[in-house]
Amino acid sequence: MLWTALRLPLLFDTSRPCNDSIHGLATWALQFTPRVAVVDEAVVMEVEASTRLFGGKRALRDRVVKESAELGAIGIAWAPTSLGALALARHGVENGLRRPLEELLDALPMETLSAVRPHHTTLAHLGCKTLGDVRKLPRGGISRRFDKTLLSALDEAYGLRAHSHVWRTLPDTFLARLELAWRVEHAPAILFGARRLLLQMCGWLAARRAGTTAYTLRWCHDVMRSRDAGDGGELTIRTAEPTRDIEHLCRLLAEHLAKVELLAPVGDLALEAVDVRPLEDASASLIPDPARQREALDLVLERVAARLGPQRVLRPVLSEDWRLEWMQHWQPAPQALPRKPAPPVDMPQPSFVLPEPLLLATKGPRPMYQGVLQLLVGPHRVEGGWWHRTTDVEDAQEMLNVQRDYYVALSPHAGVLWIFQARLAGEQTAWYLHGMFA
């Protein structure tokens, strides 16, 4: 498991942050994983299954750190458990993966775990200063003297017990509010707070795999305003195509705000996604999707070969050869030209082929493989390779020139097999297993 915890600042020294901030941060986090929960003043999310989708742990970490800071997060930590990540974030330790989690948590102060706080005074009188000190106390005594929440939280933080959270669900519509830290008198200055709301909206759109063509920004005037100023105003921004590009949306909003004159100082903002439409992401694969990109595979292979090197991009090429080892070979994609495939054969072809034929034991004249084999279809003679006798590798002559009779055989335990009997100068020789049917 890989968990990350994003802490928000507390409001007026209470145990929880502003509700709008925690709700907005949780909505934004849903673009990375559906396993998002709110724990005290933090948002925790399990991102183990999402790291590859977002380019790896380093790329995901950089993006989360950058965008969460704009949303007001003051601490972030990564750990194998959610409560462990929250405890590390409270103490200012970001990376909880380089060292064993038990070692990191044992050194943290007791108050980094919420379940310990109600019993902090009693535990301090017992000589406890860190979480490691609390863990050293007898479990039986802890369960009798304190509530069960303390032991459960310790076990969940250290990964000894499965965590249980109430997962956040993605709302069907987007409407977010933000109270500004100070009163704004000029419209362009609204962009600072509006960008935080736009980040939340873009996260919501990413989780829905959608984009917006219109969104509305509303502002409320301060209560200490003139009667003629009204309650506030609003501005609707429209785009030509569905998008969730935060930079593009901010640039459009900045252009419109430059033309707005506020009638009174602004203290609150609200953002609503008006028109939401499905948005297909461009494929990150090197192989194109013809229905979406309308690019021929040959052209894409040439481009990828130029990027990675011709020897790293190979494609199979069929040959007009009856020998199984020579029916197909690999060539660099830019050099491999389509060739006329070998004519269809009336002999069943195996689903799996062994890298090298396996010599079989015999019981009298009959071959054996996990029991005596029953010949079902055959023989189908394959002979060729004499045209390769000009090769410089003398030891390979016998491998290139083959004379084989192929059979479809049934094994009592291994199923349907593809075997052959090699022939030289008209004499029967050994049996070999060459493939298996699915």
Q: Do residue 186 and residue 252 come from a single domain?
A: yes
Residue 105 sits in the same domain as residue 186: no
Model confidence over 345-363: pLDDT tens digits? 566 778 788 888 888 888 8
Same domain, 9 and 150: yes
* Statement to judge: residues 271 and 192 lie in one domain: yes
Question: Would the pTM count as exceeding 0.75?
Answer: no
- pLDDT of 342 > 60? The answer is no
Report the number of distinct structural domains present in the chain: 4
Assigned domain for 221 exists:
yes
Same domain, yes or no: 34 and 142: yes
pLDDT of res. 175: 93
pLDDT of residue 350: 80
Task: Answer yes or no: do 77 and 36 share one domain.
Answer: yes
- Type of residue numbered 297: L
Instruction: Say what the pLDDT of residue 14 is.
Output: 43
End of a domain among 157, 190, 210? Answer: 157
Candidates 210, 240, 206; CA nearest to 54 is: 206
CA distance linking residue 384 with residue 159, whole number of Å: 64
Same domain, 7 and 99: yes
Residue 109 pLDDT level (bands cut at 50, 70, 90): very high
Residue 285 covered by a domain: no
Residue 282, pLDDT score: 60
Residue 390 lies in a domain: yes
Q: Lowest mean pLDDT: which of 55-59, 232-236, 277-281?
A: 277-281
Token representation of residue 288: 């194109």
- Position 289 in a domain: no
Q: What is the pLDDT of residue 13?
A: 42
- 107-126 mean pLDDT: 90
Same domain, yes or no: 106 and 8: yes
* Same domain assignment for residues 17 and 78: yes
- What's the whole-number mean pLDDT along residues 37-65? 89
* Span 238-257, average pLDDT: 89
224 within some domain: yes
Backbone angles phi, psi at 47, to 5 degrees: -120, 15
132 and 52 both lie in a single domain: yes
Which pLDDT does position 203 carry in this prediction? 94
Statement: residue 438 has pLDDT above 90: no
Q: With 60 as the cut, is the pLDDT of residue 252 above it? A: yes
Q: How far apart are CA 20 and CA 178, in angstroms?
A: 7
291 part of a folded domain: no
Query: pLDDT > 90: what percent of the chain?
Result: 26
pLDDT band at 322 (very low <50, low <70, confident <90, very high): low
In a domain, 52, yes or no: yes
Q: Are residues 74 and 35 in the same domain?
A: yes
Verify that 309 and 378 share a domain, yes or no.
no
Q: What is the pLDDT of residue 12?
A: 43
Q: Is residue 162 part of a domain?
A: no
Neighbour count for residue 101 (Cβ, 10 Å): 19
Q: Show Cβ contacts of residue 280 under 8 Å, excluding neighbours closer than 6 positions.
A: 209, 292
390 lies in which domain range? 352-436
Average pLDDT, the chain: 82
